[in-house]
């Protein structure tokens, strides 16, 4: 029996596109309304895996998702990078001149503002999801209405793409993490990336000491994100992503970090993700 992948969003969403790239085109996905629900599905064993966006090359880190992962105790087992390509789509036979309204998630509308402002005048309608906007057009046979969504949504709901790649910033990428329950997180052969949490004393130079020990092992610190520690004003813990060539580098770095940290937890050791369009 194939295990399902819990994703945030609806059928045809960018999460589903990313899941298909990572798990294969026949991956079974379970749509979730929130990222919290994704974590609950995986933690409870209802879904075999989870896939959730963690950062975007334009908008930056999705901070609540880092906290979700840490609190749930899930393990990162992989990642995938997806270029976010937004298209304008409508029912077959519709033309640009027929469109009166454009529906999509507010972030997608913002990403495509230059194109949308050059056409119309169109009424822009904010919705909770890009793909759901496309689905509603098909289900309601809504003429005069277009959606901004990804290519998969057009394919699933039999819509025609009236304009391709209408997003203003062409180099827009989202990073997604694959997460599993600890007991299901099998060891990865020849890993080259790790995610971890740590916190230090509040003494001057304590963070620098950690970073020096990482650099001394020839490791690339590709991500460092700080978070406030509850009940400790102006104290922080850190999420770090480390890229390495040999797992021995990571092990040496972890051993070197322990004396200069008050807490150190490895969230996952996995393969660096590839980028898909």
Q: Average pLDDT of 59-63? A: 90
Say if residue 12 is in the same domain as residue 79.
yes
Determine, yes or no, domain membership for 248: yes
Tens-digit pLDDT profile for residues 140-159: 999 999 999 999 999 999 99
- Same domain membership, residue 129 and residue 114: yes
Measured from the Cβ of residue 176, the count of other Cβ atoms closer than 10 Å reads 26
- pTM score of the predicted model: 0.92
203 with 250, same domain: the answer is yes
The domain spanning residue 76 has which CATH number?
Answer: 3.40.190.10
Q: Is residue 48 part of a domain?
A: yes
Q: For residue range 78-137, list pLDDT tens digits in order.
A: 999 999 999 999 999 999 999 999 999 999 999 999 999 998 789 999 999 999 999 999
Cα separation, 22 vs 79, in Å, equals: 8
What is the Cα–Cα distance from 222 to 242, expressed in whole angstroms?
6
The answer to whether position 76 is within a domain reads: yes
Claim to verify: residue 36 and residue 67 sit in the same structural domain: yes
Mapped onto helix, strand or coil, the DSSP state of residue 137 is helix
In terms of domains, do 94 and 222 share one? no
64 and 101 assigned to the same domain = no
In the chain, the number of structural domains is 3
**Rounded distance between C-alpha atoms, residue 29 and residue 49, angstroms:** 9
CATH of the domain at 203: 3.30.70.260
Residues 106 and 119 in one domain: yes
Q: Please give the order of strands across the beta sheet that includes 123-126.
A: 123-126, 101-104, 145-149, 87-90, 160-163
Quick check: 166 pLDDT over 70?
yes
Q: What is the pLDDT of residues 245-259, one digit of tens each?
A: 999 999 999 999 999
Chain centroid to Cα 161, Å, comes to: 25
- Is 19 part of any domain? yes
DSSP tag of 273: P
Where does a domain end: 184, 213, 238?
184
Question: 58 pLDDT band (50/70/90 cuts)?
Answer: confident
Q: For the segment 195-239, what is each residue's pLDDT rounded down to a tens digit?
A: 999 999 878 899 999 999 999 999 999 999 999 888 888 888 999
Instruction: Name the domain boundary from 184, 216, 242.
Output: 184
Average pLDDT on 57-64 reads: 90
Question: Is the same domain home to 53 and 116?
Answer: no
Same domain, 10 and 79: yes
- Which of 20-24, 59-63, 73-77 bottoms out in mean pLDDT, i.e. has the lowest? 59-63
Query: Average pLDDT over the chain, rounded to whole?
Result: 94
Q: Is the model more confident about 69 or about 120?
A: 69
Within a domain: residue 276? no
Q: Are residues 148 and 176 in the same domain?
A: no
Distance CA 271, CA 277 (A): 19
CB neighbour class for 25 (10 Å; exposed up to 12, middle 13-18, buried from 19): exposed
pLDDT at 59: 84
Closest CA to 264 of 183, 215, 168, 196: 196
Beta-strand relationship, 101-104 and 75-83? unpaired
Claim to verify: residue 240 and residue 255 sit in the same structural domain:
yes
CB count within 10 Å of CB 248 equals 10
Helix (H) or strand (E) holding 32: strand 29-32
On the question of a cis peptide bond just before residue 273, with omega within 30 degrees of 0, the verdict is no
- pLDDT surpassing 70 at residue 1: no
277 lies in some domain: no
Domain boundary residue, one of 140, 155, 184: 184
Task: State percent of the chain over pLDDT 70.
Answer: 99
- DSSP state letter for 172: -
Q: State the residue range of the domain holding 178.
A: 5-84+172-184
Q: Domain for residue 25, yes or no?
A: yes
2 confidence band (pLDDT: 50, 70, 90): low
- Residue 157 placed within a domain: yes
Q: Which of 138, 146, 140 is nearest to 120 (CA)?
A: 146
Shared-domain flag, residues 76 and 131: no
pLDDT classification of 186: cutoffs 50, 70, 90: confident
| pLDDT value, residue 232 | 82
DSSP string, 173-240: EEEEEEEE-GGG-PPPSS--EEEEEEE--SSTTHHHHHHHHHHHTT-EEEEEEEEEPTTSTT-EEEEE
């Amino acid at each position: 029996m194939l295990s399902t992948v819990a994703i945030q969003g609806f059928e045809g969403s960018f999460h589903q596109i990313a899941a298909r790239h990572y798990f294969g085109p026949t991956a079974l996905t379970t749509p979730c309304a929130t990222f919290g629900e994704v974590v609950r599905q995986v933690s409870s064993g209802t879904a075999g895996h989870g896939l959730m966006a963690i950062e975007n090359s334009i908008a930056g880190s999705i901070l609540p998702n880092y906290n979700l992962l840490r609190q749930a105790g899930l393990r990162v087992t992989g990642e995938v990078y997806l270029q976010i390509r937004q298209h304008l789509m409508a029912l077959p036979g519709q033309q640009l001149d027929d469109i009166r309204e454009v529906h999509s998630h507010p972030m997608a509308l913002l990403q495509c503002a230059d194109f949308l402002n050059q056409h119309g005048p169109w009424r822009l309608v904010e919705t909770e999801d890009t793909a759901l906007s496309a689905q509603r057009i098909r289900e309601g046979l809504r003429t005069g209405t277009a959606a901004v969504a990804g290519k998969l949504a057009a394919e699933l709901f039999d819509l025609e793409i009236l304009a391709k790649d209408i997003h203003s910033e062409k180099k827009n990428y989202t990073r997604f993490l694959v997460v599993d329950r600890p007991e299901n997180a099998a060891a990865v052969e020849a890993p080259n990336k790790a995610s971890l949490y740590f916190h230090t004393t509040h003494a001057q130079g304590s963070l620098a000491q950690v970073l020096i020990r990482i650099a001394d092992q020839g490791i690339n610190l590709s991500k460092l994100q700080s978070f406030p520690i509850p009940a400790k004003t102006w104290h922080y813990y850190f999420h770090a992503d480390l890229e390495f060539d040999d797992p021995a580098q990571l092990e040496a770095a972890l051993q070197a970090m322990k004396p200069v940290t008050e807490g150190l937890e490895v969230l996952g050791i996995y393969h660096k993700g590839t980028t898909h369009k």
